[in-house]
Structure formats: structure tokens, C-alpha cells
């Protein structure tokens, strides 16, 4: 049975297909078309103690139920005192939602549509695809600076200030999760490990633990850290820590407690990041004082202006492989790098289907295929989601999916958006698959074939050459399913473990008989990356996890591809290739999880960490750059 709440005396049914997001404490639902309002609204509802996500007899479940009851009691009183004169960029509570009795269980708020969390501006691949340059990022932070200052002038502290509760549309920021703000007698007790000020943490603890209240100074500290990451593509406490004494090694999340930053001499600065020499001296000095000398205060607005002036016309790129235009092949140690495709323009999508390189690019006002054939004439649209299925090109925007093939009229299908964010479809060499009206469909000769039933607007799918994988989540239950690439029917008994965390990001990479599923999760105060292997029969390998941004192959869920290689005695090896700061590494499944089996350090000079890797089916890996494709062959 679905829960119901009351908003302005109107009963609202909490339909799981209307979910816009689900975290560890609350769910957000789309209210458009369900209440009368001049503005698009969303409803944030805190999970009650009897929510399925808190089910269980283990100590953690019991603690979560107690915390849920306490949260509803406290937040209900807190929201009645919520400040009324905050800047309009704060997505503040509008009307309080009740359980039909006396308890306040949530609130309505303006829906910020078409926005992305600030987190994506720290990903070079996203920035490149969207055409977002450094000055645009700095103008956004200039606006955010103004908003933070206005919040403080209203007597309010953001508290748990992080790159997930800042939403971005163009150069305009919005602050969400306002119910956690600190004001009056109401403290903010939540924090995010990546951005919490070490000065309010227990300095003797092994990991950051908040022991003092947030303040305006801690908000500006978090602001400075987010700006650094969006400028440099690495957090200020990132990099590889290599102390001279092995006994000095500490977890990456503990580095702020010891003031070990990318400016520290024993930290190896990551290749994927913009060199520290790009920072103007005054800005670098500011971060040195902030990270090492514990200097605090309002972030100097003039530093943003200096950075804006500095960024205009200056190269802002990591030091990556940049061959001369005539170079076709480079040999370095055990790695041979050969240019496979270079037609100018901007590459949008690359695939290898049955040994054939397939490319979609934008050039001279047209979307073109690898043979120069035109797909459609139009300006480049960063919001266009693309796919390749053999000679067919799939283009999706909003809830419309178009399929273009040489010499044939374009086909159009209605496609669902995942939680209102992006169209849900996938392609392999022979077919394209999409979700519409709660059904997973596949192209067929006369009419679309129905593969199976899924949950509307909550389903994600990926597909390889032999099988596909997908999941949906509602009511605290995550359901995974596999499907054959040719036959109809879903197997929804994939052995996924219980998931209580908020899913921030997801990727999936296929070899012929394995799907490598990667999730970025927000677990309490931390961000973690998870990997598990899924087989065509729905069985799965044990989970492997690592902190997001940590050293090694699991520090990021991007920059990977999977392949099936010939093994001993006619067996098959299912290998994952992954970027690391030490070059490409190869990983394989073991009885206890996933293990690194080989390193290719000679690949390091050629890598662009946010570019795509594609397995070519012959044991080599393709590196996709902005305008060309290179093959990396390992001895």
C-alpha cells in the first residue's frame, strides 16, 4: 500500500513512479499535475520508522528507525520557525505536509528543473560535452558567493554545505536541503566528510567526526573546497600520498585532520588534474593558508575576479598526450598507440560493433557518421543524448527518441525520463532498447517488441552484445534484472544486496558474459564507489568498495571498459580495463571479488581520464579524445 500525506488539506498519494530522488533520510516526489500551483512543485517527505528501507532486526536498522522518529519530531518543530527572508536562490519550504494527524512529515518546495548538482562541474568529461569553460564556472561561483553571503546576513548557516545540495542551471545556483540549515536554536548536525572543516572535528579521531557546531566560517571553507575541485578536477586533499615512512600512511578521508593536501611535498599530484602552476600566486597562497595554516574567514571576492581575469584566454587543461597533426603512431615501452580516427569536429559517441569502428561526430553544423554520412543538420546540442546501433544512429531529447538510418525515414518513439532527468535507452550492434509506459521495449521487424515490465520513470538500463542489465528502486527495495539481447523476457532475480544509500551516479560496462556495475553512493557522511559483476543468469560477485576520489581503479566510476579475452585451455577471461594515476590497469573476477592482475604504466602519458575507453574486441583498448580516436595495444 502506498503512503499518503496531506498538503494544505489535500491528500497526496506517494506514487513511487513520481520519485525524483531518494536518499538515506527522505524521498522527493514530483507534484506537477497533482496539485494546483503556478510553479512546478516537489514534495520532500522524511522516511518514517516503518519505511521498508529501515526494515531489519540488525542494530543499524534499529538505529535508523530511532533516528527517523527523532527526525520527524525535530524537523516538524524546526520548520515552523524557518526564516522567511532568505535569498530566492534558496529552495525553501512553501507548505508543510502532515500525516493527516498532528505530525509534520515533509514540505513542498519549488521544483528546480533542468539542473545538475554542482558535483558534475568537477568532471572534465561533463564540462567538455556541455562546452562549459572556466570563466562560466567562475561566474557561477561569483553568484554562489553572493547567495552564501546573503544567507549569512539573514542569520542562517548552511551547515552541511556540499556539492550535492547546490543545483546548477547555466550560471545560476540554487541551494536545496534547506531543512538542514542552522538557525536560531536549531543546529545542523549533519556533515559531509569531503567538505567538513577539520577545525570542528575531533582531531584525535581516525576519520572526521563533527564535535563543534557549523558556522559561517565552515560554510566559506566548504565553498573554497568546492571551487578548488571545479577548477582543478581534483579535490584539495586528493592525489597519491606517498610518505617516506610507511607507518605514516592514513586513509584519504583523514588527510584534512593531518593537513595533508595536494600542496604537501609527499603527495603526488594526479595527472588528470590541471597543474597547480595554473593557479595565480595569490590564489595558491590563499589555499596554502586555508589548508595548512587554518586561516578562516569570508572567501575573498576579489580572488574570484582575479581568477576570472586570469582564466580568459589561458589554457586550462591537464598535461595530456598531444601529438602533432601528422603523427599516426607512437611507441612507448610496451604500449603502441595508433590513431584510428581523425576527421575534426567533436566526437559525440564511439562504439565497436562486430570489429567495426562506429563514430558519431558533430562537424560544420551537422551530425555525421564515421563514413561522412549526414545524420541530421543542426547546431551541436549538448543536451542531446546519443547512441549507435550498427549503421543506425539514435538521438534522444526529452521524451522523444529518433532513430536515423541511411536511406530510411527517421523513426520516432516516446521514451521515459529517469526521475525526470534523462531518456532511458541503450544500444548494441543489432538493436536499440528503450523504456516507455512502464515497459522495456526493443526494436523488431514490424513493431516494437516488449521485453518485459519495469517501474515507470525509475528504471535504468544498459546492454552489451549478449545481454543487458537494469535496475529500478522504490519503497526502499532495489530490483535488478537481466535480459537476453535477442529473446524476450526479464529475469528480475539479480542478487543485488540491500541498498539504503542514495545513488548519486551509475555506470555499467559489458564484456560478452559479464556486466561490471559501478555505483557512486552517499552513505551517511561519506561518498563511496561500489563495483560488482553480474552474470547473464542474474548471479553476482561479492561487492568491492572504495571512497570516491581515492587512489586506484575504484576512485572513479568512469574511464573504464570491459572485454572477454582468451584464457588458458580454451577458457575465457573477463577483464576490466581502468584508468588510474599509474596508467591503465587490468582487473579480473576472483572467487572473493575483483583483483588487479596487470598494470600498463607506459600508458600514462596518453590518458585523458574523463575520456571514454572502448574495448575493440581484439585485446586492445580505444581511447576517445575530443576529435580523434587512438588504439592502445599492450605487449
CA 122 to CA 433: how far, in whole Å?
Answer: 31
For cell 586550462, name the residue: 316
Q: Which of 561, 599, 595 is nearest to 580 (CA)?
A: 599
* Residue pLDDT, tens place only, 567-623: 888 788 889 999 988 889 999 988 778 999 999 999 988 887 667 899 998 889 999
Residue 314: pLDDT band by 50, 70, 90 thresholds?
confident
Residues 6+ apart with CB under 8 A from 554: 529, 531, 544, 545, 546
Phi, psi of 498, rounded to the nearest 5 degrees: -55, 145
CA 446 to CA 312: how far, in whole Å?
Answer: 54
Angle between helices 301-311 and 281-292 (to 10 degrees): 140
**Spatial contact of 415 and 400, defined as CB atoms under 8 Å apart:** yes
The yes-or-no verdict on residue 1 having pLDDT over 60 is no
Lowest mean pLDDT among 210-214, 285-289, 331-335, 531-535: 331-335
So where are the chain's domains? Answer: 1-111, 128-319, 321-345+495-635
* Residue pLDDT, tens place only, 503-545: 999 999 999 899 999 999 999 889 999 999 999 999 998 899 9
Q: What is the dihedral of CA 32, 178, 219, 554, to 10 degrees?
A: -60
What mean pLDDT is predicted for residues 128-156?
96
Q: b or e along 480-494 (b: 16 or more beta carbons within 10 Å of the residue's beta carbon)? A: bbbbebeeeebebeb
The yes-or-no verdict on residue 302 having pLDDT over 50 is yes
Q: pLDDT at position 511, please?
A: 92
On average, the pLDDT of the chain sits at 92
The yes-or-no verdict on residue 289 having pLDDT over 70 is yes
**Spatial contact of 325 and 339, defined as CB atoms under 8 Å apart:** no
In eight-state DSSP terms, residue 525 is T
**Spatial contact of 443 and 463, defined as CB atoms under 8 Å apart:** no
Report the alpha-carbon angle 217-219-223, nearest 5. 115
Phi, psi of 583, rounded to the nearest 5 degrees: 105, -175
Residues 6+ apart with CB under 8 A from 274: 231, 232, 233, 316, 317, 318
Lowest mean pLDDT among 309-323, 545-559, 595-609: 309-323
- 157 CB burial (10 A radius; 0-12, 13-18, 19+): buried
Beta-strand runs (E) in 89-239: 96-98, 104-110, 116-117, 166-169, 172-175
Name the helix (H) or strand (E) containing 384.
none
Residues 6+ apart with CB under 8 A from 36: none
| Longest alpha-carbon distance in the chain | 74
Residue 391: pLDDT band by 50, 70, 90 thresholds?
very high
The yes-or-no verdict on residue 459 having pLDDT over 90 is yes
Across the beta sheet with 392-397, the strand order is: 385-389, 392-397, 400-404, 411-414
Reading the block at residue 151, the C-alpha cell is 544567507
Q: pLDDT at position 321, please?
A: 66
CA 459 to CA 433: how far, in whole Å?
Answer: 12
Beta-strand runs (E) in 111-212: 116-117, 166-169, 172-175
Q: pLDDT at position 609, please?
A: 67
Reading the block at residue 9, the C-alpha cell is 488539506
For cell 557518421, name the residue: 369
Concatenated DSSP letters of 394-449: EEEETTEEEEE-TTSPPEEEE--EETTTEE-EEE-SS-EEEEETTEEEE--SSS-E
Residue 322: pLDDT band by 50, 70, 90 thresholds?
low
CA distances from 612 to 238, 347, 424, 577, 629 (A): 22, 11, 20, 11, 10
Architecture of domain 128-319 in CATH? Orthogonal Bundle (1.10)
CA 286 to CA 519: how far, in whole Å?
Answer: 35
**Spatial contact of 489 and 537, defined as CB atoms under 8 Å apart:** no
**Spatial contact of 223 and 249, defined as CB atoms under 8 Å apart:** no
CA 421 to CA 20: how far, in whole Å?
Answer: 9
Reading the block at residue 203, the C-alpha cell is 582531531
261 vs 270 pLDDT, higher one: 261
* Residue pLDDT, tens place only, 192-228: 999 999 999 999 999 999 999 999 999 999 999 999 9
**Spatial contact of 544 and 531, defined as CB atoms under 8 Å apart:** yes
* Residue pLDDT, tens place only, 27-80: 999 999 888 787 899 999 999 998 888 888 888 889 889 988 898 889 989 999
Q: pLDDT at position 311, please?
A: 92
Q: b or e along 292-323 (b: 16 or more beta carbons within 10 Å of the residue's beta carbon)? A: eeeebeebeeebbeebbebbeeeebebeebee
CA 212 to CA 200: how far, in whole Å?
Answer: 5
CA 543 to CA 594: how far, in whole Å?
Answer: 8
**Spatial contact of 402 and 395, defined as CB atoms under 8 Å apart:** yes
Q: Which CATH number fits domain 1-111: 3.30.200, 3.30.70, 2.60.40, 1.10.10?
A: 3.30.200
- Look at the alpha carbons of 71, 167, 506, 321 in this order and tell me if their dihedral is positive or negative: negative
292 vs 313 pLDDT, higher one: 292
* Residue pLDDT, tens place only, 92-112: 999 999 988 878 999 999 999
Quickly count: other Cβ atoms within 10 Å of residue 266's Cβ: 13
Q: Which of 157, 115, 130 is nearest to 28 (CA)?
A: 115
CA 375 to CA 373: how far, in whole Å?
Answer: 7
CA 346 to CA 365: how far, in whole Å?
Answer: 11
Residue 372: pLDDT band by 50, 70, 90 thresholds?
very high
**Spatial contact of 2 and 16, defined as CB atoms under 8 Å apart:** yes
Amino acid at each position: 500500500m502506498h503512503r499518503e500525506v496531506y498538503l494544505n488539506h489535500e491528500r497526496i498519494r506517494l506514487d513511487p513512479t513520481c520519485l525524483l530522488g531518494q536518499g538515506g533520510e527522505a524521498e522527493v516526489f514530483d507534484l506537477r499535475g497533482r496539485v494546483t500551483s503556478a510553479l512546478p512543485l516537489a514534495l520532500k517527505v522524511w522516511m518514517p520508522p516503518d519505511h521498508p528501507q529501515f526494515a531489519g532486526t540488525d542494530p543499524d536498522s534499529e538505529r535508523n528507525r530511532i533516528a527517523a522518529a527523532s527526525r520527524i519530531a525535530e524537523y516538524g518543530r524546526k520548520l515552523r520557525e524557518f526564516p522567511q527572508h532568505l535569498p530566492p536562490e534558496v529552495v525553501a519550504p512553501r507548505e508543510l505536509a502532515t500525516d493527516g494527524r498532528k505530525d509534520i512529515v515533509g514540505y513542498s518546495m519549488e521544483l528546480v528543473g533542468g539542473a545538475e548538482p554542482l558535483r558534475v562541474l568537477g568532471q572534465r568529461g561533463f564540462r567538455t560535452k556541455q562546452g562549459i569553460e572556466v570563466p562560466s564556472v567562475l561566474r557561477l561561483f561569483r553568484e554562489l558567493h553572493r547567495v552564501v553571503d546573503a544567507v549569512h546576513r539573514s542569520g542562517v548557516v548552511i551547515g552541511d554545505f556540499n556539492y550535492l545540495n547546490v543545483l546548477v542551471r547555466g550560471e545560476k545556483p540554487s541551494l536545496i536541503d534547506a531543512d538542514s540549515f542552522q538557525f536560531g536554536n536549531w543546529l545542523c548536525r549533519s556533515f559531509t566528510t569531503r567538505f567538513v572543516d577539520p577545525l570542528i572535528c575531533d582531531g584525535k579521531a581516525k576519520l572526521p567526526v563533527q564535535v563543534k557546531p557549523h558556522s559561517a566560517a565552515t560554510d566559506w571553507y566548504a565553498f573554497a573546497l568546492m571551487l578548488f575541485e571545479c577548477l582543478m578536477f581534483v579535490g584539495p586533499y586528493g592525489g597519491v600520498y606517498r610518505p617516506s615512512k610507511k607507518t605514516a600512511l592514513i586513509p584519504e578521508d583523514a588527510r584534512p585532520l593531518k593537513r595533508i593536501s595536494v600542496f604537501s611535498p609527499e603527495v603526488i599530484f594526479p595527472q588528470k588534474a590541471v597543474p597547480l602552476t595554473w593557479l595565480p600566486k595569490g590564489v595558491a597562497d590563499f589555499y596554502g593558508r586555508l589548508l595548512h595554516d587554518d586561516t578562516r574567514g569570508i572567501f575573498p571576492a576579489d580572488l574570484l575576479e582575479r581568477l576570472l581575469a586570469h582564466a580568459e584566454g589561458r589554457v586550462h587543461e591537464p598535461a595530456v598526450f598531444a601529438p602533432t597533426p601528422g603523427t599516426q603512431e607512437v611507441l612507448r615501452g610496451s604500449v603502441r598507440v595508433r590513431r584510428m580516427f581523425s576527421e575534426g569536429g567533436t566526437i559525440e559517441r564511439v562504439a565497436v560493433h562486430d570489429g567495426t569502428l562506429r563514430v558519431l561526430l558533430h562537424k560544420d553544423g551537422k551530425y555525421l557518421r564515421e563514413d561522412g554520412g549526414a545524420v541530421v543538420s543542426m547546431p551541436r546540442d549538448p543536451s542531446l543524448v546519443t547512441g549507435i546501433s550498427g549503421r543506425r544512429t539514435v538521438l534522444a531529447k526529452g521524451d522523444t527518441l529518433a532513430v536515423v538510418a541511411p536511406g530510411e525515414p527517421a523513426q520516432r518513439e516516446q521514451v521515459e525520463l529517469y526521475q525526470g532527468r534523462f531518456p532511458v535507452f541503450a544500444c548494441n550492434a543489432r538493436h536499440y532498447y528503450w523504456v516507455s509506459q512502464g515497459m522495456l521495449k526493443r526494436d523488431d521487424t514490424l513493431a516494437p517488441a516488449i521485453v518485459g515490465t519495469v517501474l515507470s520513470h525509475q528504471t535504468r538500463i544498459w546492454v552489451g552484445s549478449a545481454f543487458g542489465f537494469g535496475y529500478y528502486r522504490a519503497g526502499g527495495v532495489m530490483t535488478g534484472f537481466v535480459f537476453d539481447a535477442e529473446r524476450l523476457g526479464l529475469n528480475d532475480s539479480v542478487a543485488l544486496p540491500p541498498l539504503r544509500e542514495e545513488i548519486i551516479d551509475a555506470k555499467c560496462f559489458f564484456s560478452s558474459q559479464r556486466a561490471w556495475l559501478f555505483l557512486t553512493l552517499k552513505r551517511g557522511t561519506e561518498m563511496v564507489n561500489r563495483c560488482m559483476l553480474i552474470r547473464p543468469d542474474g548471479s553476482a560477485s561479492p561487492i568491492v568498495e572504495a571512497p570516491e576520489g581515492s587512489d586506484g581503479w575504484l576512485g572513479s566510476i568512469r574511464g573504464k571498459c570491459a572485454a572477454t579475452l582468451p584464457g588458458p585451455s580454451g577458457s575465457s577471461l573477463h577483464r576490466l580495463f581502468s584508468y588510474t594515476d599509474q596508467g591503465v590497469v587490468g582487473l579480473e573476477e576472483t572467487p572473493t571479488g575483483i583483483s588487479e592482475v596487470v598494470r600498463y604504466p607506459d600508458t600514462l602519458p596518453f590518458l585523458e581520464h574523463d575520456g571514454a575507453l572502448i574495448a575493440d574486441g581484439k585485446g586492445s583498448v580505444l581511447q576517445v579524445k575530443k576529435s580523434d580516436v587512438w588504439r592502445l595495444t599492450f605487449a
